[in-house]
Structure 1
């Protein structure tokens, strides 16, 4: 990125952030010392590209990531044009993330793909070729290009991240992408396995560069020791909601939690998960409690192979305190 020493701690702006507050919050994150910030493109909350433009315009140094756009919502040529516009205006500061998209959301737009992996592969290769100044002629399973070239290609390579979970996606990332944005609720064990799989895929593809891993972490942190119990309780309800909404999958399989979660969900929704989840799930799937607990957990993610950890303030009432508490740690984790 544009400056050599930056914190390995980042921040995610929630998708419920009112658009008119994005610039102010981005400036505050930069001033607090965070090393990167991510904006989601959750349909139908905030536009990721427009949101990134607002954040970049309100800041001067911090890299801004889009985490993540669905590969099936925009044609790769349109996505490349949007990325190229921002990457040239703010050199070295844009980190575009591309994933499959939440199936329920893409289905609402009639954009369900028979082969989501083909769409992701064609988007990554098409976007990269166009950004580097190539003319693309290709007819794929998802996208057709007929002599497409960008008028404003980008002189420096733009790091393309993916937001994927399963083994096929990790393999594709290791072969074609520059980084992986790991979804919130990822246990350290998942990150450790993903690091190994990415490295193996990159090696098999003859690539010698390290694939960057940025982990999004659901966090509720306090500087007040007397508030630790309250902080944990507040995170429990939010985690229960996300666990129920997500259901069993690769993240939870990493710690053998799928069977327990499936059993809970067979008997109800978030309320059952909240009532029955083991207390240590808060520490496995989030960063919670006091600053010492947060410091230790962040260290575990970095030791497992993550390059950056971005805090997602998922508890509305605790967001300000969480950012302040973690913000005080940014200087301890630099690279």
Structure 2
């Protein structure tokens, strides 16, 4: 039986740490192929929560999407990755990104060059995980004869979590995959893959994971599910702003700028076109959810990671998908 290319995200803002393990176990029991945690400052910790999820499950892939390249020295991040991968071989995916500028700025950790920092971070972690002693004076990070005492028994996939064209190309060159943000619809996936493949060609790489997050709501009442996703979809649209690649791939940016300038999030919730829900979320009846997941997979996502918008009904909605959608996707 092949692994289902659908995962579930354990929300940072609404999940206390003590619930991460039980929720991960529930996701596995329902038959999903992946469970993902994150490290949004300053909620639950990324590595510790990945450990809780791994310890509470037996076979499901656990992804960490993502940590900032700046909040830990890469040597310390490599140590954490090696520990989890050694104890749970073949089950852990580590995602690394630039970090949210507002959060890194709060800690005085804004990099001089985000691309350089990410490049040095990912490549040095890979070298350490392979058993090298690293002695480099980089532009962002210094290593003075650093090596890991305990190495993982299997190769650990290193992914990035990035958005822009230059970062996507870098990801294709140095990483084993890219975690795509919520709002990553089919046209953005195609845009991202174009740049990722350019980097892959430069490095001679032939494969690349593309787990794709999606704001999610499922209900037998399609209208209720689509209404439920509107507030959080509007929140993210305001957060990314009217000049971004995610909505730009669809030609939405001018309309988004107009709505934001004349009413902000409230107007977005009320007036965003239904097409935006179709293209930027996974919301509706089970049949609509299944169709949307298939569209994202066809566009190039290697898995679709459902991020429930309503914590109170998340378990019920995931169960509905497990019963009505997953059987057609690999179970």
- TM-score range (shorter-chain normalised) is over 0.9
- SS of corresponding position for 2:153: coil
Of the three residues 223, 230, 252, the one matched with 1:236 is 230
Stretches (4+) displaced over 6 A: none
**Aligned residue number for residue 12 of structure 1:** 9
For 2:198 and 2:330, how far apart are their aligned partners in 1? Answer: 26
1:107, distance to aligned residue in structure 2 (A): 0.8
After superposition, where does 1:145-224 map in structure 2 within 5 Å? 145-207=143-205, 209-222=206-219, 224=220
Task: Say whether 1:290 aligns with 2:259.
Answer: no
**Aligned residue number for residue 262 of structure 1:** 257
1:244, distance to aligned residue in structure 2 (A): 1.1
Task: Say whether 1:66 aligns with 2:64.
Answer: yes
- SS of corresponding position for 1:302: helix
- SS of corresponding position for 1:14: coil
Task: Say whether 1:95 aligns with 2:93.
Answer: yes
1:241, distance to aligned residue in structure 2 (A): 1.5
**Aligned residue number for residue 297 of structure 2:** 302
For 1:114 and 1:100, how far apart are their aligned partners in 2? Answer: 11
**Aligned residue number for residue 325 of structure 1:** 320
Could you list the per-position Cα deviations for residues 257-299 of structure 1 after superposition, in whole angstroms to 9, with x for gaps in the alignment?
A: 1111112222232102112211221111101110110111111
Q: Which runs of 5+ in 1 are unaligned?
A: none
TM-score of the pair, normalised by structure 1: 0.95
- SS of corresponding position for 1:217: strand
For 2:258 and 2:168, how far apart are their aligned partners in 1? Answer: 28
Task: Say whether 1:246 aligns with 2:240.
Answer: yes
**Aligned residue number for residue 275 of structure 1:** 270
- SS of corresponding position for 1:182: coil
Q: Is the 8 A contact 2:46 2:64 kept in 1?
A: yes
1:156, distance to aligned residue in structure 2 (A): 1.6
For 1:110 and 1:133, how far apart are their aligned partners in 2? Answer: 31
For 1:331 and 1:180, how far apart are their aligned partners in 2? Answer: 26
Q: Is the 8 A contact 1:33 1:331 kept in 2?
A: no
1:200, distance to aligned residue in structure 2 (A): 2.8
Task: Say whether 1:52 aligns with 2:61.
Answer: no
- SS of corresponding position for 2:108: coil
1:314, distance to aligned residue in structure 2 (A): 1.7
1:228, distance to aligned residue in structure 2 (A): 1.7
Q: Is the 8 A contact 1:170 1:198 kept in 2?
A: yes
**Aligned residue number for residue 43 of structure 1:** 41
1:195, distance to aligned residue in structure 2 (A): 2.1
For 1:283 and 1:317, how far apart are their aligned partners in 2? Answer: 23
- SS of corresponding position for 2:151: coil
Q: Is the 8 A contact 2:211 2:305 kept in 1?
A: yes
1:243, distance to aligned residue in structure 2 (A): 1.0
For 1:6 and 1:74, how far apart are their aligned partners in 2? Answer: 33
For 1:40 and 1:177, how far apart are their aligned partners in 2? Answer: 18
Q: Is the 8 A contact 1:132 1:155 kept in 2?
A: no
- SS of corresponding position for 1:38: strand
Aligned pair count? 328
1:193, distance to aligned residue in structure 2 (A): 2.1
For 1:323 and 1:246, how far apart are their aligned partners in 2? Answer: 27
For 2:257 and 2:138, how far apart are their aligned partners in 1? Answer: 37
Of the three residues 117, 120, 130, the one matched with 1:119 is 117
